A = this chain, B = another copy of it.
Amino acid sequence: MKLPRYKQLHQRLKSDILSGHYAEGSLLPSENTLSAQHKITRVMVRQALSALEQEGYIARRQGKGSIVCAQQPALGLLSFRGFSEVLGETEHSATSQFLSKPHATTWSKDFFFDLSVSEQKAGCITIERLRKVDDQPVMLEFTYLPNLNIPNFCDKKWVQGSLFRMLYWYYQLEITNVDQRIRALAAEAETAEQFHLDMGTPILHIHRKYGTNRPNYFIYSSLYCNTEHYAIGTIIK
Contacts and interface: CB of A to CB of B under 8 A. Distances in A.
Contact of A181 (B54, B201, B231): B231
A236 B235 CA distance: 10
A227 interface: yes
Interface string A167-200: 0000000001111111111100000000000001
Interface stretch (A28-36, A153-161, A202-210): A202-210
Q: Is the interface of A mostly helix, strand, loop or mixed?
A: strand
Contacts of A204: 182-184, 204
Query: Residue among A50, A75, A180, A183 with the most chain B CB within 10 A?
Result: A183
B185 A234 contact: no
Interface in A54-109: 54, 75, 77, 81, 86
A207 B181 contact: no
Nearest to A81: B181
Interface residues of A, number: 34
Nearest to A112: B86
A181 B233 contact: yes
The 8 closest A-B pairs by CB, nearest first: A202-B202, A181-B231, A184-B202, A183-B227, A184-B184, A184-B204, A182-B232, A177-B237
29 contacts: A43-B43, A50-B50, A75-B236, A77-B236, A81-B181, A176-B237, A178-B235, A179-B233, A179-B234, A179-B235, A180-B233, A180-B234, A180-B236, A181-B231, A181-B232, A181-B233, A182-B204, A182-B227, A182-B231, A182-B233, A182-B234, A183-B204, A183-B232, A184-B225, A184-B227, A185-B202, A186-B201, A204-B204, A236-B236
